[in-house]
Amino acid sequence: MTRMTMIEAVRSAMDVSMQRDDDVVVFGEDVGYFGGVFRATQGLQAKYGRTRCFDAPISESGIVGTAIGMAAYGLKPCVEIQFADYMYPAYDQITQEAARIRYRSNGDFTCPIVLRMPTGGGIFGGQTHSQSPEALFTHVCGLKVVMPSNPYDAKGLLIASIEDPDPVIFLEPKRLYNGPFDGHHDRPVIPWSKHPLGEVPDGHYTVPIGKAEIRRSGKDVTVIAYGTMVYVAEAAAEETGIDAEIIDLRSLLPLDLDTIVQSVKKTGRCVMVHEATLTSGFGAEVVSLVQEHCFYHLEAPIARVAGWDTPYPHAQEWDYFPGPARLGQALVEVMEAR
Amino acid sequence: MTEPMRLSLHVPEPAVRPGDQPDFSNVTIPKAGSVPRPPVDADPETIRDLAYSIIRVLNRQGEAVGPWAGLLSDEDLLTGLRNMMRLRAFDQRMLMAQRQGKTSFYMQHLGEEAVSCAFRKALQKGDMNFPTYRQAGLLIADDYPLVTMMNQIFSNAKDPLHGRQLPVLYSSKEHGFFTISGNLATQYIQAVGWAMASAIKGDTKIAAAWIGDGSTAESDFHSALVFASTYKAPVILNIVNNQWAISTFQGIARGGSGTFAARGLGFGIPALRVDGNDYLAVHAVARWATERARRNLGPTLIEYVTYRAGAHSTSDDPSAYRPKTESEVWPLGDPILRLKNHLIQRGVWSDERHRQAEAEVLDEVIQAQKEAESNGTLHTGGKPSVRDIFEGVYAEMPPHIRRQRQKAGY
């Protein structure tokens, strides 16, 4: 066991995977010699050579397109899109190609690729360094979509993603790279070295895709969260004194519906929270499923707390980011509903 | 102060439209044999002229002339002729089958048969093509079963793609034919990635990318050239310039570029332009490029100058945008007739044997069609299972798709 930040855990996952499997290759913009703008690939080129870890031209469709071709050959590319906000030029390759190759060729060709994308806000990233585009992936059949919230899960999920036979969108909340963040931007950041989930095994292990984790058990209300919102939910529960059960989805597609349904049937109330914009966000899917599967157990309307339906602003960062106050208020309202 | 000049937008327009006299006087056709054959390791800078000329082997008399001639035996050429004839007969039968409602859609290769048939013969087993929807000759020249192609077109019980894919969007890993997508140009960059993978693994296999003139305007075309150039990927970047992208003439995609081949020059990629209706020239150029790739000398871009003699697809009527007789005056003629004449000129073929071969090929295709139809056509007979809708989205079916499959009753 070693104390790792999420960056170090992500790097360790690639290191372990490259060590175990010669077919794993890592590339992207600034990923090679420099080790990535977030340092996630630092040292990998020196250790595995330029043909296993290398810099790519600034072309997202080129990066994903070549990765798809490599996967068709038999490699397992784990590539980086520098910010999730810049995946749009590759959207054609992701949705029409990577996601469909197994289906359209009836398994003649497959696409075992991982697309790592730093995502989310809370860092004064403005419009194109803060987006949470997960719903644009969860709507695409053939993709898997995961988002870890801590170093342990980040490493285990990334190794599982690299070993997965299908394309995985691996969203890394960059606000969590160096420590958990509950939305209290005025307080000092606690580093992962002081958090139990910063304990990461050095070797190989996996966290299964498609399995949620209950971060806090409670009986009053189920809060469904992922990424940074897991810590916002913990803060909101503590500050309101509401005994919330907090589910960290970890995997959005496939979704661990059983864990959600079991929890909501127990609590009878549900709040969905995400950073992404509200309308047609991933929360809408979860809320719809909860309504469908837990209708007779619900004691209040399901609430959603999300980013506003606007582009991510710069100066108004903390009025946009769904912090503990906003979530706390939703918890109170859901508890008071009758 | 003088009045600023009012600007105007330039929109290229083909020289002629329906009702006009077809005219290709603007297409410069160099004499067969006139373009030099550089060594495969030539510095791209020294062979820039090849991107602006047209490599041709067969002259008007049907003779093979010049430095690109002499690679193929009579037997190879007879096989090539037969493959092109098989493709044309296949096209004719499938067009008819579409008109009869046996399938929803078809796309023919009329006039472009030499490009894919001759290119395939320059590849080896294990190499991978990333084709568009107009390179079925790659399969036919590799002896992929016609029945299987038709099963796919009819979406029947033996369709290898289980009814999931539009007709003609074949897939065969075994025959080095990557799964075709409806999305234009996406495969061009994937081919580069496949070639990079082969290089990463120290393999000896190479990749071939395919694109039409219209789709070169897609951004994936440009990313493919960048990546191929940067990593010196062992890939052949093929552009089939058949003059038309549905109704849009090639000038709309080409713009101010002298030729499509010339696009490669800015990326430092050697670029050749070849007579796409000359089986021998296509094969010779393909051999040059494959040898370059195999010797780790990097990518080559090839523009095949040809003409889309047929409609874009069974959903298209070309008489709405180009003269009906335009294909007849196309200066590079018909690939099958030209190879036939060459073989007659060589004394190994005759009009009579050609007629006989036409009958044999037609019979082969009809037999295949009978067998395929016995497996069903789009609306009658055997069909893929409804269950097949849900299979293969992922390696393992996730619970939500399982629930949906159950809801559908399977």
DSSP states of B20-38 as a string?
A: SPP--TTS--PPTT-S---
pLDDT of residue A338 exceeding 80: no
pLDDT tens digits, residue range A297-307?
Answer: 999 999 999 99
Question: Inter-chain contact A25–B195, Cβ cutoff 8 Å?
Answer: no
For residue B193, the chain A residue with the least C-alpha distance is A66
Q: Do B399 and A257 touch (CB under 8 A)?
A: yes
Confidence of residue A190 (pLDDT cuts 50, 70, 90): very high
- B121 touching A, CB under 8 A? no
Q: Is A313 an interface residue toward B (CB < 8 Å)?
A: no
Please give the Cα distance from A54 to A48 (Å, whole number).
10
Beta strands A114-119; A144-146: pairing state: unpaired
pLDDT value at B262 more than 90: yes
* ipTM tops 0.90: yes
CB contact under 8 A, A254 and B398: yes
Find out whether A37 and A82 touch, Cβ atoms under 8 Å: yes
Q: A122 φ, ψ to 5°? A: 85, 15
Cα(A248)–Cα(A238) distance, rounded to whole angstroms? Answer: 17
Q: Say which of A65, A75, A89 has its CB closest to residue B200.
A: A75
pLDDT given for residue B257 in this prediction: 86
Compare all CA atoms of chain B with the CA of A51 and give the residue at the minimum distance: B200
pLDDT tens, residue by residue, A275-292:
999 999 999 999 999 999
Give Cβ neighbours of residue B189 (< 8 Å, ≥ 6 apart).
Answer: A61, A62, A65, A66, A69, A93, B209, B220, B223, B224, B227
pLDDT of residue B2: 85
Question: Which chain A residues are within 8 Å of B237, Cβ to Cβ?
Answer: none
Q: Does A212 touch chain B (CB under 8 A)?
A: no
| Nearest CB partner across the interface for B392, out of A69, A70, A107 | A107
pLDDT tens digits, A197-237: 999 999 999 999 999 999 999 999 999 999 999 999 999 99
| Sign, Cα dihedral of A320, A326, A327, A330 | negative
CB contact under 8 A, B161 and A105: yes
What pLDDT is attached to residue B314?
96
Burial class (CB in 10 A: 0-12, 13-18, 19+), B407: exposed
- Residue A75 sits at the chain B interface (C-beta within 8 Å): yes
Return the residue in B129, B189, B403, B407 with the most chain A beta carbons within 10 A, the one to mutate for interface testing.
B189
Q: Is B228 on the interface with A (CB under 8 A)?
A: no
Q: Rounded to a whole number, what is the distance in Å from the CA of B61 to chain A's nearest CA?
A: 43
Please count the residue pairs, one from chain A and one from chain B, whose beta carbons lie less than 8 angstroms apart: 142
Nearest-CA distance A104 → chain B (Å): 6
Residue B1 has pLDDT above 80, yes or no: no
Q: What is the mean pLDDT of residues B249-278?
A: 96
Mutation site for B-interface testing, chosen from A63, A106, A143 by largest number of B Cβ within 10 Å: A106
* Interchain CB distance below 8 Å, A70 and B178: no
Measured between alpha carbons, how far is A207 from A224 in angstroms, rounded to an integer?
19
Query: B residues 180-219 near A, CB within 8 Å?
Result: 181-183, 186, 188-201, 207, 219
Instruction: Note whether A113 contacts B: Cβ–Cβ < 8 A.
Output: no
Q: How confident is the model at residue A65 (pLDDT cuts 50, 70, 90)?
A: very high
* Residue B175: closest C-alpha in chain A: A108
Query: Which residues of A are catalytically annotated?
Result: 129
Give tens-digit pLDDT for B17-76: 999 999 998 889 999 999 999 999 999 999 999 999 999 999 999 999 999 999 999 999
Chain A neighbors of B299, CB-CB under 8 A: none
Q: Do A69 and B395 touch (CB under 8 A)?
A: no
Mutation target among A88, A104, A143, A253 for the B interface, most CBs of B within 10 A: A104
Whole-number pLDDT of residue B256: 85
| Whether the bond into A89 is cis, omega within 30 of 0 | no
Q: Check the CA dihedral B194-B195-B199-B205 and report its sign.
A: positive
Residue B408's pLDDT is 96
In whole angstroms, give the CA distance from residue B272 to residue B282. Answer: 10
Question: Is the Cβ of B275 closer than 8 Å to some Cβ of chain A?
Answer: no
Q: Are B303 and B273 in contact (CB under 8 A)?
A: yes
Q: Which of residues 318-337 of A touch B (CB under 8 A)?
A: none
Partner A contacted by B314 (CB < 8 A): no
Q: Which residue matches tokens 């190994």?
A: B348
Residue of B nearest to A91 (CA): B186
When scoring A23, A25, A48, A59 by the number of chain B Cβ atoms within 10 A, the one with the most, hence best to mutate, is A59
Q: Note the pLDDT tens digit of each residue in B125-147.
A: 999 999 999 999 999 999 999 99
* pTM, rounded to two decimals: 0.98
The predicted pLDDT at position A24 comes to 98
> Mean pLDDT score of chain B, rounded to an integer?
97
Predicted pLDDT of residue A102: 98
Selected residue with higher pLDDT from A337 and A245: A245
Helix (H) or strand (E) holding A7: helix A6-20
DSSP sequence for A198-238: GEE-SS-----TT--EEEE--SSEEEEE-TTHHHHHHHHHH
pLDDT digits (tens, 9 = 90+) for B157-178: 999 999 999 999 999 999 999 9
Q: Which pLDDT value is given to residue A313?
A: 97
Q: What is the pLDDT of residue A187?
A: 94
pLDDT at B26: 84
Task: Report the mean per-residue pLDDT for chain A.
Answer: 98
